[in-house]
Structure 1
Amino acid sequence: MKMAAGRWGSPAQEPVSMGTVPTERSAYGQAVRAVRVGELDADEAAEQLINLMTDGEILGLLDGDSPGLLLPLIPILLGRRPFVAGAVSRLGIPGIRFSDGGRGVVIGASTAFPVTMARAATWDPLLEERVGVAIGLETRARGANYSASACVNLLRHPAWGRAQECYGEDPVLTGRMGSALTRGVRVHVMACVKHFALNSMENERFEVDVSVDDHPLHEVYLPHFKAVVDAGADSVMSSYNRVRGEYMDVNRALLTDVLRHEWGFPGFVTSDWVFGTHDAVVSLEAGMDVEMPLRLLRARDLPAALRSGDLARATVLRSAHRVLRTCVLHAATREAASPTPALVASPAHRALARQVAAESIVLLKNETVGAAPLLPLASATRHVAVIGRLAALANLGDHGSSRVRPPATVSPLQGLREALPRVRITTTSGRNERAAAALAAAAETAIVVVGLDQHDEGESVVTGGVDVGVLGPAFGAGPLRRLLIGLAHVASRFVRGGDRTSLDLRPADVRLIHAVVAANPRTVVVLIGGSAILMEAWRERVPGILVAWYGGMEGGRALASVLTGSAEPGGRLPFVLPTDAAHLPPFDRAAKSVVYDDRWGQRRLDDEGHAPAFPFGFGLGYTTIEHRLLDHGFDDTGGNADVLVTNTGGREGSTVIQVYAADVSVSRPVAQLLGFRKVTLQPGEETTVQVPLDAGPTLQRDPATRRWSPRAGDWALLAAQHSPARWADAARLRRPVGPIDEEGDTDGRRT
């Protein structure tokens, strides 16, 4: 590959102005057209563009285009424009134009969807793909072409501050939902999956070193990343943390040996922002292609390293080629029509946000009070008390990099007032417990809205452990470095967000619940938050419990529709709710090193024999539905299960058919989710549903050969409505023996 004449280290060209669409007259536009009509493939087009570029322009592909002086302004600018990397106006190359987007586009006033954890609770990949299409459409309308929407880090512990940004504790659920979002986003923009890998704590995310054996690494913490890569992810964002002693930007074992060689990922890797790059040269050699979002280490160190021979020219060209190939290919294959800003937060997208919020709500308890279950609210209801500090707030989630600022929001109180215009609704914040109890006593039903907000959990705006050497040589060592790191550690103790200190509600919320339910036995507790909230201090006394998450801009209307019965609570837990935090893995928010094994969440409770408060996958509806496994065609390449589903209740309702496997030869079988499918049935309807199954949880990987083979044991299959506690009725599996080759066939015979 020939490079155009030029001087290494010359300034990159000014970025293309926001929203510019390269014309076919530009070199980039001609390359995109040639790929679209089949005259060139994307690799050939990328090579032709590189041959037209100066040395400085090629180096400019490998980091952000904005100057390092903008570092303090990132939180402000992130909400106003895309961050650009690798733009070359002379050739019409727009570069990668970044927007975050886990719950909606962070630029401007955009649709705020429920947080990722809430969408995981829908257990509906088709619905999640529709969310992805909407986010991609709004991302492109805001002038960006690259969205970091899919966060598929596993929920190792619910105290993780950014738990709300992930899909829960299970690899199969996470992989399928993250893949669906990615497919949707890619209709309009390039999709980035993050944070690779083993990122699941916030306060020490810059320093923590994760130790992990090959079995949990490849069979628990990476399969969902591979699923999203296989779904077409254009880019991967590396995480801040270390894995096995190496920061992820320089972790060749994962970025190259696994991601590229073993999985065949053809796209480009970006760093997590600013402090995610630790060595300009080594990170490039390890497989981290683009330093985001500013001109910092790469701009300072790469030109001299290339001149001195410390950096091979082929290494530079390899990453430049990956970036250009991916951009050209996506531009040639994406939806042709450019969306207008009028589509942002449109009525259709708001309606979708409301549907997702309603289908995410999990009904945990609905006891009979009097002659009927407490929910939905009786049509004869005339007086409802809505109580709690979160009742009148539009509580959308944390205020970190994924924050969305919609043009309007609907609180739970507003949603109920709209849904019940003829019902008297009284309200109080609950700060005065005696007044709240009196208000509850005077009403027919009391609804208590409590939980978490951005002060309790979320991305930590200031985090200790920042490697400030990225700011320049003066910060690489000495008193200035020590001073700045010390200030960061001190500041991190006072800012909002970060890892949770407790899995319980605030003490004032618990006291409020006790006061209200004592005054009115018809009490419903609505929990707002991003992951597990323990409720043992009050669970037995409250007849109705809902988990409403951070429900997005239409969350209040969705909640009201579920409470009144115009919509069904369609959600199922994407994690287990234990009775005791001690039943989960240890979590030290100040840890500098951690060990990750294959026991967490529901699996840990199963293994140790602890009954949960509510198991993984649990959720009630307003009707009753039965499941029965009829047959399966499962083997070690996957397969399907046929499940008979019957609505035995009196109204339309949905269920999530969940198929689990376990080694039943052990005294305490550990359930492994293999597949799921959401289905809606009319009253009395009976149907057979085919559920696709993932063989991965029943396989093991040989670290030496990188080949997969059946895991030892006596494996059984069970269809259930949540993670099962009993396996007596399970069907035995017929298993192939021997390693699985690259085509998915086995070298052994069937048993």
Structure 2
Amino acid sequence: MMLANFPRLAMVLGLLVILTGTAFAQDETPEAKAAALVAKMTLTEKVGQVQSAAPAIPRLGVAAYDWWSEGLHGNARNGYATVFPQAIGLAASWDTQLLQEVGTTVSTEARAKFNAIGAGHDHGRYQGLTIWSPNINIFRDPRWGRGQETYGEDPFLAGRFAVAFIRGIQGDDPEHPRAVATPKHFVVHSGPEAGRHGFDVDVSPHDLEDTYLPAFRAAVTEGRAGSVMCAYNAIHGTPVCADGDLLTTRLRSDWGFRGYVVSDCDAIDDETRFHYFKPDNAQSSAVSILAGTDLDCGDAYADLLEAVKKGHVKESTIDTALTRLFAARYRLGEWGDGKSPYAGISMEQVDSAEHRQYALQAALESMVLLKNEHTTLPLPSGARIAVIGPNADTLGTLEANYHGTARAPVTPLTGLRQRFGADHVRYAQGAPPAEGVPIPIPETALRTTAGGSPGLAGEYFDNLDFSGKPALTRTDRVIDFDWDQVAPLGGPHAGRYAVRWSGEWLPPAAGDYTLAVHVDRCFDCSHQHDPVRLSIDGRQVLDDSGDDTHIQTLLHVTDRHPHAIRLEYVHRGQDQGVRLQWLVPAQAQLAQAQAAVRNADAIVAFVGLSPDVEGEELQIDVPGFNGGDRTDIGLPQAQQALLERAAASGKPLVVVLMSGSAVALNWAKQHAGAIVAAWYPGEEGGHAIAQVLAGDYNPGGRLPVTFYRSTRDLPPFVSYATQGRTYRYFTGTPLYPFGYGLSYTHFAYAEPQLSTKQLAAGRTLTLSAVVRNDGDRDGDEVVQVYLDAPDDASAPRHALVGFARVHLGAKESRRVSFELAPRQLSSVDAGGERAAKAGRYRVFVGGGQPGDSQGVTAEFTIDGQLALPK
């Protein structure tokens, strides 16, 4: 048995080491080694080690280690990495093998960076092997800004992706994981962002067991996740990170979890400040570590010193938590014992050619074709294309949030130019993301000199005062850079540099313009931020020394004449990049789009959302958006006006939706020739979109969320009741249903077969059907299996119980089989009890939900009833 569950024995063994001088043999368990190490620590040292930024203990040979690392869709916030599509895009692939490859790539690149520093050395934030991903909360409402980080709205789909991703992160050897995965946020957490630090969820026992727990159960019982993150929210008045019923009874006793639990960042402090659960952090820390939260992301656990002295918690409870934590560090090989199978992973594997190919494959598989009327797509060879829209040429809509730095990102504009030829592509930005939200100034409004190239001339200095000769000069097409933990210059001072951009700014019309410089601020940094200065026609219009949050100015322009522009940026801290942005008179942008459309054969409009308007706890309050969440799920009005102006030309209109969530594209569904959901597609997104539009790749993705028609179709955002939301309980007519997606070919189904039509409760059912590609193109079909249970007021309308993405050549057919375990055939009653129940059931096998797609059905009966474990 594990010493983590026997703290007194662990202490005794540790004392024996101290008293006898006997060290544990090299083949002792990680728990035994951890217990022995913990026994040598003082209480002060112990308290330091249960905080995420754990300090070094030189006398014990313990290096400093920050437990906080991210890897949602690529190794994040630690320099260059392979940037995959955002998680919601990965979910649209419906490909578990792909998710495992993504997880493997993430942990391989994390291990490469860990190895570059070296085992036994200090590892700071984002440099470790404990990865706080995946986010497997249920995306219950499209208004939630962080839903983009999840695998969608279905608990079964989220669970299968969780297992695959965790297996990729951790590898095949539980005793030597490549990294540790941390599914989050346990549990029942999905907005609103405003008030999340003190939100109390009133969730029914049925919804908890039926919807919110299954993905976490799969992550633990099947994926064997080494860690779990507890959420900010409370459930029925008890903060989750202080809930022993969840963290000890459910997680450890019921599910057999043997890893460690980490709090969401500052969640322990939230128990005091926002939940008012305890009067001070000493008591909040005590109740949380007793409940089973082993590690505090934050510094509230510093008050465990006071908690022990006042008798709120025993020191042995801290020992239990530390034994779990250090056992994980031993398994990861942090001390470099020479046995690590990953010692040979090097920096050459970071964003390697192989990994970039994975990113392209992931982006291709994530594309969902929502409409294709009159075979608008693929675009004909040699077509002249007007590319318009705010998402056509921005870095943020490739990288999304919780991202690494893409070394060579390909925007849609770049991808289409490469595929169709630059001389066949006209471009106009056309609109901002939303009213009052600045966007990078496009290449069409910048040039190096009169008659020069699009963009600005960049001079890069390896000092902070622009002295001497620039170390590098180049033309930058746009000023839209992610330099998080990377630098445009090498050398000994790579992290300290200055850049001067100069050239001409070309306003498209007279009017009022907002010019803004956005500096991506370092999270949780105490230093002064990177300063910027902006001059127009030799007059300084912005001078920020690093104190301002919003760096912008309003200019009135009386004509379209070019204006000299100079931007100076000094990187002296840990800020993460810079963008030169604007807000433009609406009619001027629409006129530019109309001009681009004039001589085109087809229009491709890149519209949707951006990480500037949807995300985690954003400082935004404009029409349709608040605090990172949405108040309206429709397309922002400025973008809607752009689509309508473009469509008025009468030319074929292709709408490419780039977003982290569903958008109510009601007008586009009626008027556009084709619609493609491209999500936030990662570093290879531009190539993937171009291949789909050209017909080089046949899209096969499916929606992992319901696209509703209006915000009015949704229950209140603050309600966590499942009735009326997600495909499982929504009784209205969606714009596009969960599981939906088209192809350039056509698939048909036949010959459903069941292993039996009379099944004893608790037995497994085998189901199969023949799927055939009836078209003339090769393509991928996502075969989906839905279960309809006997009449039960609490049962979902349909429940996804199986899926497989299969590739079929033209005219090829294949029998696809599924094994439906008792849990997939079960249901949950009002009291939260799960059982396989007697009755007559129907299964549907097809390319989407019953009634929405081609497919076949079969019926069977379950005899008897069998209660299933929690």
TM-score > 0.5 by shorter chain:
yes
Residue 389 in structure 1 maps to residue 515 in structure 2: no
> Alignment partner of 2:163: what SS?
helix
CA change 1:726–1:615 in 2 (3 A) is: closer
Aligned residue in 1 for 2:184: 194
Q: Mean alpha-carbon deviation: is it higher for 198-207 or for 391-400?
A: 391-400
Q: Deviations over 1:379-426 (max 9, x none)?
A: 2x33111111211222346875x1332222111010001111276111
1:312 Cα deviation after fit? 1.9
Task: Give the SS at the match of 1:149.
Answer: coil
**Structure 2 CA distance for partners of 1:669 and 1:135, relative to 1, 3 Å:** closer
Q: CA deviation at 1:377?
A: 1.3
**What corresponds to 2:378 in structure 1?**
376
Partner of 1:688 in structure 2? 815
Gap runs ≥5 in structure 2: 1-8, 15-20, 115-127, 172-177, 272-283, 432-588
Residue in structure 2 matched with residue 103 of structure 1 by the alignment: 73
Report the aligned-residue RMSD.
Answer: 3.1
Aligned partner of 2:110 in structure 1 is 139
Structure 1: which 5+ residue stretches go unaligned? Answer: 7-26, 66-83, 464-490, 589-593, 745-751
**Residue 45 (structure 1) aligned to one of 12, 19, 33:** 33
Segment of structure 1 superposing worse, 355-364 or 720-729: 720-729
Pairwise CA distance, 1:308 = 3.3
Map 1:5-84; keep pairs closer than 5 Å.
Answer: 34=26, 39-65=27-53, 84=54
Match of residue 119 from structure 1: 90
- Give the equivalent residue in structure 1 for 2:669: 539
Query: C-alpha displacement at 1:690, in angstroms?
Result: 1.6
- 1: distance between equivalents of 2:396 and 2:305? 47
Displacement of 1:522:
1.1
CA distance in 2, matches of 1:740, 1:130: 36
SS state at 2:37 partner: helix
Aligned pair count?
A: 655
On the 8 A contact 2:183/2:228 being kept in 1, the answer is yes
1:176 positional shift? 0.5
Is 1:130 the equivalent of 2:101?
A: yes
Give the Cα separation in 1 of the matches to 2:666 and 2:140: 21
Distance 1:87 1:196 in 2: 31
Q: How does 1:242-253 map to 2 (within 5 A)?
A: 242-253=234-245
Residue in 2 aligned with 1:315?
Answer: 317
When you count strand as a share of all residues, which structure comes out higher? 2
The 5-angstrom pairing of residues 82-481 of structure 1 reads 84=54, 90-92=60-62, 95=65, 97-106=67-76, 107-143=78-114, 144-187=128-171, 188-201=178-191, 202-230=193-221, 231-277=223-269, 278=271, 279-292=284-297, 294=298, 296-299=299-302, 301-331=303-333, 335-368=341-374, 373-379=375-381, 381-396=382-397, 402-421=402-421, 424-431=424-431, 432-461=589-618
The residue matched to 1:264 in structure 2 has which SS? coil
Shift of 1:317: 1.9
Is 239-248 or 130-139 further displaced after alignment? 239-248
Aligned-partner residue type, residue 112 of structure 1? V
Deviations 1:11-44 (A, max 9, x none): xxxxxxxxxxxxxxxx99x97x83xxxx333333
TM-score normalised by the chain length of structure 1: 0.81
Alpha-carbon distance between aligned partners in 2 of 1:59 and 1:109, rounded to the nearest angstrom: 34
In the TM superposition, residue 525 of structure 1 has moved relative to its aligned partner by 0.4
Does the CA-based 8 Å contact 2:371-2:669 persist in structure 1? no
1:304-335 per-position Cα deviation (integer Å, ceiling 9, x unaligned): 32233321233222212221223323449974
Task: Pick closer, same or farther for the CA change 1:248–1:453 going to 2, 3 Å.
Answer: same
For residues 28 and 724 of structure 2, the distance between their equivalents in structure 1, rounded to whole angstroms, comes to 49
Residues 555-594 of structure 1 aligned to structure 2 (within 5 Å): 555-588=685-718, 594=719
The within-5 A match list for 1:512-523 is 512-523=642-653
Alpha-carbon distance between aligned partners in 1 of 2:325 and 2:623, rounded to the nearest angstrom: 39
* Cα gap change, 1:725 to 1:584, in 2 (>3 Å): farther
* CA deviation vs aligned residue, 1:500-559 (integer Å, no higher than 9, x gap): 121111101111111212213311000010010001133211110000100111111110
User: Does 1:730 pair with 2:730?
Assistant: no
Change over 3 Å in CA distance of 1:200–1:632 after alignment to 2: same
CA distance in 1, matches of 2:268, 2:408: 34
| CA distances 1:53-106 after superposition (whole Å, capped 9, x unpaired) | 3333333331133xxxxxxxxxxxxxxxxxx57876723466564311112122
> What secondary structure sits across from 2:198 in the alignment?
coil
Q: Give the number of the structure whose alpha-carbon radius of gyration is greater.
A: 2
Give the distance between the partners of 2:786 and 2:150, measured in 1 at CA: 22
Equivalent residues of 2:363, 2:685 under 8 A apart: yes
- The residue number in structure 2 matching 1:614 is 736
> In the TM superposition, what is the alpha-carbon distance from 1:713 to its structure 2 partner?
5.0
CA 1:86–1:254 in 2, change beyond 3 Å: closer, same or farther?
A: farther
- Closer, same or farther in 2 for the Cα pair 1:367/1:99, shift >3 Å? same
SS of structure 1 residue aligned to 2:704:
coil
For 2:660, the aligned partner's letter is G
* Structure 1, 355-364 or 420-429: larger mean CA deviation: 420-429
Task: Tell me the residue number matched to 2:523.
Answer: none
- Whether the 8 Å CA contact 1:260–1:266 is kept in 2: the answer is yes
> Residues 664, 544 of structure 1: CA spacing in aligned structure 2 closer, same or farther, 3 A cutoff?
farther
Assess if the C-alpha contact under 8 Å between 1:447 and 1:523 holds in 2.
Answer: yes
CA distance in 2, matches of 1:729, 1:285: 52
Identity between Structure 1 and Structure 2 (%):
32
| Distance 1:459-1:496 versus aligned 2 partners, 3 A rule | same
Secondary structure of 1:645's aligned partner? strand
Taking a change above 3 Å as real, the CA distance of residues 393 and 493 of structure 1, as seen in their structure-2 partners, is closer
Q: Are positions 1:509 and 2:632 aligned together?
A: no
The one-letter code sitting in structure 1 at the alignment partner of 2:196 is R
Scaled by the length of structure 2, what TM-score is found? 0.71
